[in-house]
Structure 1
Amino acid sequence: MSRASINWGVLGAAEIAREHTIPAILAAENSRAYALASRSGVPGELVEHFGFETGYGDYDELLADPAVDAVYLPLPNDRHTEWAIKAARAGKHVLCEKPAALNATQTAEAIAACEAAGVVYMEAMMYPFHAQHARVRELIADGAIGEVRGVHVNFTFNLEKSLSDFRHGTFETGGGSLYDLGCYCIHAIRSLLGEPDRVATIARFAGPRNAEMSAAAVLGYDNGAKAGFDCGMDAVARHAYEVYGTAGTIRVNKAFVPQVDGDGPVEIVDAEGHTSIERVTSFQYPNGIAHFADCVLHTRVPDYAPENVLANMRVLDACIESATTSRLVELEKH
């Protein structure tokens, strides 16, 4: 494209769209909030509030609008694949809310549809676009903690009272904390240690639909590295990770949830227990939106490339399989 910005269409007015993604579209210089669609009726007050140029009461109508360049899909998890494929076939670039789909097969189908249509595809895993994570990788590369031995991640919040939320559904409908939060934990581990060789998961199922409310997983590596995470919709809010090595530890205590002030402290503890803290200010959602739009404008593959999205889903599949069978699951090499 020779233009300086892209026109966004948003399918659905979910909370994450209202609180994070739409404001990020408004903040990114190369993005324009063009159209919003809602099947429950066009939320006129949102169209006006955010300054969209138009609104639709049907997703297909938005996809048929030739002025829309890219769509953001904040739909329930079990609808991601269907609408990603429809958007691709309509010639729209696709930013799909996480998890990309319900399994690796569906994820591959969505990616293939986007490749066939020649459109950009990315899962909306926005936390890596905060600069604190690049700083962690720099510290590791500089030997700040010696040789990395393992990673621990946690991501929890309390959703027990909101029983009508789709996340209280079964795995078959895209419910559960592994889909909602575990995908972040897995991504953080993979970005630091690479692809695991095996996983083992235990989970707590509860509520009227026997949803997976919380889970804990261990990821094993043939090279001896170890990783673990816990995620849950039944505990106080926590979102952090720790990387430990032969000479120290790095802790990121505001890892996933965007901070209003952009704060991203990185804590380094050396072998003697001395602690130093670096504060990194960055805004992950505007950064992620700007990056995706830049990829559309300049025909580039996103930093969070489709094959990386698929690899993340394969590990998530294994965690869910282990949670439902109570067995260790070996991952195939790809």
Structure 2
Amino acid sequence: MTETSSSGRKLHLGILSAAGIAKKNVRGILKNTNGIEVVAVAARSLDKAKAFIKETGIEGKAKAYGSYDELLDDANIHAVYIPLPAGLRPQWVKKAAAKGKHVLGEKPVALTNKETEELISACREAGVQYMDGTMWLHNPRAHYMKEIISNKKLFGEPKSVTTCFYMAADEDFKKNDVRAKKDLDGLGCLGDIGWYCLTVTLFAFNYDAPSQVQAHIGAKFNDEGVPMHCGATLTWADGRQAMFDCGFDQNFTQLANVGGSESFIQWTDFCIPTKEDSCEFSVVGPGGLSDLDTRINQDNEVKKVYLDRPQETRMWEDFAECIYAIQDGKKPDDHWPSISELTSKCVLAVAESIENGCKVVEFKA
């Protein structure tokens, strides 16, 4: 985890899209992120790029481009942020890599395994850093939890993971948002918030690939056939198991539980912390029923983590540090694209199971 940015160094970042998620990042994060400066914004028209720059308060700092290709041709840019929909993103990630630009892309990575593999391979072959926008992995809380999960005496062996992530979307969202469009982000809630659920599982299980994936019955879709609610169970050959459920149809909820043989970890805001300056999680120790089964005798220790800056800021700083290391002669950090690739394959295995009537899918790592 990066605690401070490299002294005196500045990463020049370009943004390929004037989408709402890009505006959020510029307004709330990039302007205050050590070592990163947004120097260019490209949109489908020059007017949209200019409007984005004005709305986000980076006038005089960033240049507007009326096409993505023009931005990629700018030799002053070291890296690009690509929040384009998954149906469009792969081609631009590959183009960016070919131009020697490092890439932070939103998730899901792509809509097919072939596109995912091509995208990751293009970045590896070009020697550029690839990272996806799974911000919670850059929170100090994640590192603290990893230490506990790795402590065999305290936690035991990781056995199970249960997660759920919901957000209440209105009818306009379910029809018109890019995450509801088959050709744009056709994985719907699975590729968006289901992605985060799967990252918790892979994180807890040390990024071991599952052996089987099976979607749950009862998935819900919009008129275009895009998932609006779904879930799945993943199993490992050694008996580990994970279950998740996600949807755009319930009150905002983000719960996670990682069970070990000696204790378990649970937290109620696993993706987006309730507070920006602090977050917490609970470690629940061994216990059982007491007083004629009327209560539970079990320790519950709340661990608190104080944040001097948001997890999204830390993500950008970690991205920048990877690039500084490359500039100093090191190879790209393959940890991040490997996580992206494995998570993408899990997401797409769930999608395959849904399409096949919730049959078991043998996972291919």
Match of 2:362 among 325, 330, 333: 330
2: CA distance, partners of 1:97 / 1:293: 16
Instruction: State the 1:205 CA deviation.
Output: 2.9
Structure 1 residues 128, 227: CA separation in 2 closer, same or farther (over 3 Å shift)? Answer: same
Structure of higher CA gyration radius: 2
**Residue 48 of structure 2 is aligned to residue 42 of structure 1:** yes
1: CA distance, partners of 2:136 / 2:320: 17
Partner of 1:199: 213
- The SS at the match of 2:344 is helix
Is contact 2:219-2:227 (8 Å) kept? yes
Structure 1 residues 145, 15: CA separation in 2 closer, same or farther (over 3 Å shift)? Answer: same
2: CA distance, partners of 1:61 / 1:184: 33
- The SS at the match of 1:75 is coil
Structure 1 residues 320, 187: CA separation in 2 closer, same or farther (over 3 Å shift)? Answer: same
Partner of 1:280: 305
* RMSD (Å) for aligned C-alpha atoms: 2.1
2: CA distance, partners of 1:96 / 1:84: 8
Instruction: State the 1:186 CA deviation.
Output: 1.3
Is contact 1:255-1:264 (8 Å) kept? no
Instruction: State the 1:303 CA deviation.
Output: 6.7
1: CA distance, partners of 2:202 / 2:26: 25
Q: How does 1:308-327 map to 2 (within 5 A)?
A: 308-325=339-356, 326-327=358-359
2: CA distance, partners of 1:148 / 1:305: 22
Q: Which amino acid aligns with 1:158?
A: A
**Residue 249 of structure 2 is aligned to residue 249 of structure 1:** no
TM-score computed with the length of structure 2 as normaliser: 0.85
2: CA distance, partners of 1:20 / 1:251: 28
1: CA distance, partners of 2:80 / 2:26: 11
2: CA distance, partners of 1:196 / 1:297: 34
- Residue range with higher mean Cα deviation, 202-211 or 27-36: 202-211
- Residue range with higher mean Cα deviation, 166-175 or 233-242: 166-175
Instruction: State the 1:246 CA deviation.
Output: 2.2
**Number of residue pairs matched?**
333
Instruction: State the 1:45 CA deviation.
Output: 4.3
- Residue range with higher mean Cα deviation, 174-183 or 225-234: 174-183
Instruction: State the 1:83 CA deviation.
Output: 0.7
Q: What residue ranges of structure 2 are gaps of 5+ in the alignment?
A: 1-5, 288-297
Is contact 1:122-1:304 (8 Å) kept? no
- The SS at the match of 1:95 is strand
Is contact 1:252-1:264 (8 Å) kept? no
1: CA distance, partners of 2:276 / 2:285: 28
Partner of 1:137: 146
Match of 1:294 among 314, 321, 324: 321
Partner of 2:293: none
Q: How does 1:1-334 map to 2 (within 5 A)?
A: 4-20=9-25, 23-40=28-45, 41-48=47-54, 49-51=56-58, 52-142=61-151, 143-161=153-171, 162=173, 163-170=175-182, 173-193=185-205, 194-202=208-216, 203-259=218-274, 261-272=276-287, 273-282=298-307, 283-299=310-326, 300-302=331-333, 304-325=335-356, 326-332=358-364, 334=365
Q: Which amino acid aligns with 2:306?
A: T
